[in-house]
Amino acid sequence: MDIVPQPESPQFAATYRCIRGCPGSYDVFSVMYRCPACGGLLEVAHDDAALAAARDGAGWRALFETRLRGSGVWAKREWVLPQLPEEKIVTLGEGWTSLVPVPQLGRDLGAGDLWVKQCGISHTGSFKDLGMTVLVSAVNQIMSAAGSTVRAVACASTGDTSAALAAYGAAAGIPTIVFLPAGKVTTAQLIQPISHGARVLALDTDFDGCMAIVQEVTQDDSIYLANSMNSLRVEGQKTVGIEICQQLDWQAPDWIVLPSGNLGNISALAKGLALARKLGLIDRLPRLVAAQAQKANPLYLAYRRGFDRLEPVTAGATSASAIRIGNPVSYEKAVAALRDFDGLVEQAGEDELADACALADRRGLYTDPHTGVALAVARKLAAQGVIEAGQRTVVISTAHGLKFSEFKVGYHEGTLAEVVARRRNPPVELPADSRLVKDEIRRWLDET
């Protein structure tokens, strides 16, 4: 029942490898993001044989069941970054978010046995915390090595990555620089890195423009790149799928639906589930659904063409601003994940996502627009008969609704573009007169 992470597990070594299979493996504490041979993304490769030799599936399950408190990421440390020294871990208590059954919402959406994994109920209000604890811990290790040239960490962000990087950087005492598309993140998302002391650079461009700049800025080794093309983040984020199965008594659901933008998270989800299957903790895999906003849907378009190739789009304005991405960096990894998990891609428009959020809020959730995209997609797939009656679906909620007050206010004021706010609930303004107040309450109760 340890809260503090245990000593490193040096018997399990993880290394960087090229996702396209080029030969060579590299130190995970070196400053590199792409394969030197082909320019493809790297991934962290674990010593699966050593992990399998150490324990069978039941043994790993039993071990993980002894670590139900503290960080949900470092509870799986042998599978995450085994050679990280314990004292280098930077944690803010991420993971172990609740998995909530929402049968009434399931009925509203026609989506049967529906559950929501509340990744947004986390330190900085999004699932990005899961990956950032690993990346910042690794940077903590890198910067402590003699001769390290790294002086700061930087990322481009649609708002949640920057909040997480700034918080974990502040916790570690590591300077952070965040690149944001000016005017395209929420007030809450903007004030988070400002409060943590990050250097906030608001650029007159979109996310894809910020991404291009941060890649140039991080070419020299003094600034470490924290975007999800950095595969260390994937190692933390991959624990979410394992955690979902654990919370379901090691039974995989039939479907997992998640909102997808840069496509790091779906790649991570698949990587964790595949390892859990390979090491015998679960006996089957769920099918995965990448849910995209119609205004930012390059993966959906590629899917409809049989994944022939990625054709970047200019992402349009959507309430789901954290997935407003036209040129997703982890496209190749996501396609591999979707193929391995018999997955599919579906999209939702502004009205569909807003209505799904409103329905969910009426059932007691407080739903961010990205989770709205995933719920709307679950509704669509159920209506099409793809998600069948009786099947269990887990929707990954990626952020906290409280970060998206502008969206909620816009909905209830009826000012969101392309949205018919069917469930508007504006406040009633009345004089301070008890008779009028009683009349109003009676009228309302009669209507409900």
Ligand X SMILES: *Cc1c(COP(=O)(O)O)cnc(C)c1O
- Smallest gap from Cβ 36 to Zn ion, in A, equals 8
Return the residue matching tokens 């969206």: 407
Give the 3-state secondary structure of the chain.
Answer: CCCCCCCCCCCCCCEEEECCCCCCCEECCCCCCECCCCCCEEEEECCHHHHHHHCCHHHHHHHHHCCCCCCCCHHHHHHHCCCCCHHHCCCCCCCCCCEEECHHHHHHHCCCEEEEEECCCCCCCECHHHHHHHHHHHHHHHHHCCCCCCCEEEEECCCHHHHHHHHHHHHHCCCEEEEEECCCCCHHHHHHHHHCCCEEEEECCCHHHHHHHHHHHCCCCCEEECCCCCHHHHHHHCHHHHHHHHHCCCCCCCEEEEECCCCHHHHHHHHHHHHHHHCCCCCCCCEEEEEEECCCCHHHHHHHCCCCCCCCCCCCCCCCHHHCCCCCCCHHHHHHHHHHCCCEEEEECHHHHHHHHHHHHHCCCCECHHHHHHHHHHHHHHHCCCCCCCCEEEEEECEEHHHHHHHHHHHHHCCCCCCCCCCCCCCCCCCCCHHHHHHHHHHHHHHC
* Binding of ligand X by 43 (CB under 6 A): no
- Smallest gap from Cβ 329 to Zn ion, in A, equals 15
Stretch that binds ligand X, among 85-93, 179-187, 253-261, 309-317 (CB under 6 A): 253-261
Q: Applying CB under 5 A, which of residues 31, 40, 199, 221 lies at the interface with Zn ion?
A: 40
- Smallest gap from Cβ 17 to Zn ion, in A, equals 9
Q: What tokens appear for 104 in the block?
A: 């009434």
Q: Applying CB under 6 A, which of residues 43, 113, 160, 206 lies at the interface with ligand X?
A: 160
The CA-to-CA distance between both ends of the chain, in Å, stands at 48
Stretch that binds Zn ion, among 29-37, 132-140, 150-158, 392-400 (CB under 5 A): 29-37
Closer CB to Zn ion, 317 or 336, in the complex: 336
Closer CB to ligand X, 262 or 319, in the complex: 262
Closer CB to ligand X, 35 or 315, in the complex: 315
Closer CB to Zn ion, 37 or 191, in the complex: 37
Closer CB to Zn ion, 37 or 409, in the complex: 37
Closer CB to ligand X, 207 or 255, in the complex: 207
Residue list 203-232, contact with ligand X (CB under 6 A): 228
Which listed option, ligand X, Zn ion, none, makes contact with residue 118 (CB within 5 to 8 Å by class)?
Answer: none
Q: Which amino acid is at 405?
A: S
- Residue 374 · residue 399 · CB < 8 Å: no
How many of the chain's residues bind ligand X (CB under 6 A)?
17
* Binding of ligand X by 189 (CB under 6 A): no
Closer CB to Zn ion, 40 or 280, in the complex: 40
Closer CB to Zn ion, 41 or 154, in the complex: 41
- Smallest gap from Cβ 133 to ligand X, in A, equals 15
Q: Applying CB under 6 A, which of residues 126, 137, 140, 319 lies at the interface with ligand X?
A: 126
Q: Which residues contact 169 (CB under 8 A, 6 or more apart)?
A: 136, 153, 175, 176, 196, 198
- Residue 390 · residue 113 · CB < 8 Å: yes
- String of contacts with ligand X for each residue 332-371, x by CB under 6 A: ------------------------------------x-x-
Residue list 391-420, contact with ligand X (CB under 6 A): 398-399
Q: Applying CB under 5 A, which of residues 9, 13, 15, 22 lies at the interface with Zn ion?
A: 22
Residue list 57-116, contact with ligand X (CB under 6 A): none
Q: Applying CB under 6 A, which of residues 90, 154, 269, 323 lies at the interface with ligand X?
A: 323
- String of contacts with ligand X for each residue 260-299, x by CB under 6 A: xxxxxx----------------------------------
Which listed option, Zn ion, ligand X, none, makes contact with residue 37 (CB within 5 to 8 Å by class)?
Answer: Zn ion
- Smallest gap from Cβ 234 to Zn ion, in A, equals 17
- Residue 124 · residue 161 · CB < 8 Å: no
Residues within the interface to Zn ion (CB under 5 A): 18, 20, 22, 35, 37-38, 40
Residues within the interface to ligand X (CB under 6 A): 126, 128, 160, 228, 259-265, 322-323, 368, 370, 398-399
